[in-house]
Structure 1
Amino acid sequence: MNRRKFIQKGALTGSFLGLGGLGISAMENALDDSAFAKTLLSGVQIANNAKHTFNLNYAPHIGMFKEMAGNDPIDQLNFMADQGYTAFEDNEMRNRPIAEQEAMAKTMVARNMTMGVFVAHKIYWTEPNLASGKQEWRDEFLEDIRKSIAVAKRVNAKWMTVVPGHVDLRQNIAYQTANVVETLKQASAILEPHGIVMVLEPLNFRNHPGLFLSESPQAYQICKAVNSPSCKILFDIYHQQIQEGNLIPNIEQTWDEIAYFQIGDNPGRNEPTSGEINYKNVFKYIHNRGYDGVLGMEHGNSIKGKEGEQRVIDAYVESDDFL
């Protein structure tokens, strides 16, 4: 048992001993009218029943555990919480029916899970929408941002993913950067009053050739130019291992602009321990910096079926054992 698990187990034991002769049932009866007490009891019971206690807020996605949990998104969320995961992310949340968004949000609140990112806008994989500076593409992007605010509020999301699109081969990179910065400044002005953060995701050249935003120093420079609490970096460890490597030094250099992490091992973009990245050391560094945000598990499973899903859980237990 690692140090954190020992401390948390002791804290839970202390909570029960502090009740004296009152058991859980007696406490519920004594404080029957207190919504706070019921919520507290529920949280204690869930924490006590979770299979694992992680040091960081790893966030699975829909489909990752469908063989073990079934196809229903609510069942999958409950399964994640039962395993000890304290966060969740869903790139497709914006496209889900409102009723489903609301049901998922209700489940996350009940299970004390933090909602991670969803994709905020239409991504242009082959056209230079934001880099071009064309007003029609800027207007479309800003309208998507406005619409995504309603989604974020519905599902209690603080972060939304932004990918600026393809490079404009007919313009100097400096002009393209100025175009992107101006658009993001306007988007930030829309987001700031709501406390919502768009996180810019650099993507690697191999999986996504020709995109404008590819490296963490570039994202850092753009965030400094936009100069807004609503424009930060999504540091995807898988993409940056391919694009630039030197992971921990680059995380250190860009730290004050990072608001979100995503995970995937290389090669294969699967769970930690399936490839070359020493995730235990990377997670340890992030934890030691005091990061309390979300780390999205934006990867596949290296093995199919229930065996592969259990392997994902085991990989996170192993990689999280750094204290």
Structure 2
Amino acid sequence: MPRFAANLTMMYTEVPFLDRFGAAARDGFDAVEYLFPYEHTPAEIAVRLKAHDLTQALFNLPPGDWVAGERGMACHPGREAEFATALERAIPYIEATGCQRVHAMAGLVPAGSDAASQRASYVANLRRAAARLAPLGVSLLIEPINSRDMPGYFLSLQQQAHDVLAEVGAPNLKVQMDFYHCQIMEGDLSKRLQKHFAGVGHIQIAGVPDRHEPDHGEVNFPHLFDLLDRLGFEGFVGCEYRPKAGTSEGLGWLHLYQASRKTPA
């Protein structure tokens, strides 16, 4: 059965961020993820993880000025030093939490540079970051994001991401395959997962098209969860969705799936 991680950026927003760890544990999660931990110290995060026996599945590197609309800088020519500094800022959080996967956001396509320069900067930044993280036993992730939710994002298609993996050539560079984004952009989720499985390091889910719980809409999630089992997926499935009417109240989909897949005594 897949191992599910609660996304504390989108889930449990009924309580302050540091209280979300306990809320997730009380609902049966044994792993968590979120976008950014940087408003809190590494020690504050580590204490919550230990207190509630949670695994840190994933978080993102600093993305630049998020409030001003930046969504990463890895594809931005001329910002290589800033990207390297962002990576170093994340290292203490990696070490304190034991997190083995971090996501580097590519960024919105920058004005004033050509596609070749953007690609070269992206590949070079990822290559250096993967090399920095490898001795720590940490995987670097990249994620195709749909152009409806994030217009102008540099990376939007699965094949595009796996072509980057091939060019970078780092064993610890993987793709964060979000079924929500992939369904909006491409569909054919089962076949795409099977085709690219060797390069997938993390999965995320949300109902399509509204990004609520994965129990409605156009995607058969139990089928995909079973497929992950058949393929031997050993990573995490991040629940990166906006609860429709309360986080705990909306977890029926998870409890139903878990109950249906338990082996009879």
Tell me the alpha carbon deviations over residues 16-75 of structure 1, each in whole angstroms, 9 at most, x when there is no partner: xxxxxxxxxxxxxxxxxxxxxxxxxxxxxxxxxxxxxxx2211113362465xx54735x
Higher gyration radius (CA) = 1
Match of 2:125 in 1: 183
- Quick one: which amino acid aligns to residue 60 of structure 1? A
SS of match in other structure, 1:203: coil
SS of match in other structure, 2:176: strand
- Contact 1:274/1:302 (CA < 8 Å) preserved in 2? no
Runs of 4+ in 1 over 6 A off after TM superposition: none
Classify 1:104/1:286 alpha carbon distance in 2 versus 1 (closer, same or farther; 3 Å): same
Match of 1:280 in 2: 222
- Contact 2:36/2:62 (CA < 8 Å) preserved in 1? no
SS of match in other structure, 1:140: helix
For the residues of structure 1 that align with 2:12 and 2:126, how far apart are their CA atoms? 35
TM-score w.r.t. the length of structure 2 is: 0.88
Gaps of 5+ in 1: 1-54
Report 1:240-251 matches (<5 A): 240-251=182-193
SS of match in other structure, 2:74: helix
Query: What is the total number of aligned residue pairs between the two structures?
Result: 257
Asked whether 1:207 is paired with 2:207, we answer no
Q: 1:140 Cα shift?
A: 0.6
- Contact 1:284/1:322 (CA < 8 Å) preserved in 2? no
TM-score w.r.t. the length of structure 1 is: 0.73
Asked whether 1:194 is paired with 2:136, we answer yes
For the residues of structure 2 that align with 1:257 and 1:123, how far apart are their CA atoms? 27
Q: Of the candidates 236, 240, 244, which is equivalent to residue 178 of structure 2?
A: 236
Classify 1:138/1:66 alpha carbon distance in 2 versus 1 (closer, same or farther; 3 Å): closer
For the residues of structure 1 that align with 2:72 and 2:201, how far apart are their CA atoms? 25
SS of match in other structure, 1:116: strand
For the residues of structure 1 that align with 2:192 and 2:106, how far apart are their CA atoms? 21
Match of 2:41 in 1: 97
Q: 1:80 Cα shift?
A: 2.7
Q: 1:268 Cα shift?
A: 1.1
Q: 1:81 Cα shift?
A: 2.8
For the residues of structure 1 that align with 2:195 and 2:118, how far apart are their CA atoms? 24
Q: 1:319 Cα shift?
A: 3.9
Match of 1:316 in 2: 254
Higher helix fraction (1 or 2) = 1
Gaps of 5+ in 2: none
Question: Which region of structure 1 is more displaced relative to structure 2, 85-94 or 150-159?
Answer: 85-94
Q: Of the candidates 154, 172, 189, which is equivalent to residue 96 of structure 2?
A: 154
How many percent of aligned residue pairs carry the same amino acid?
25
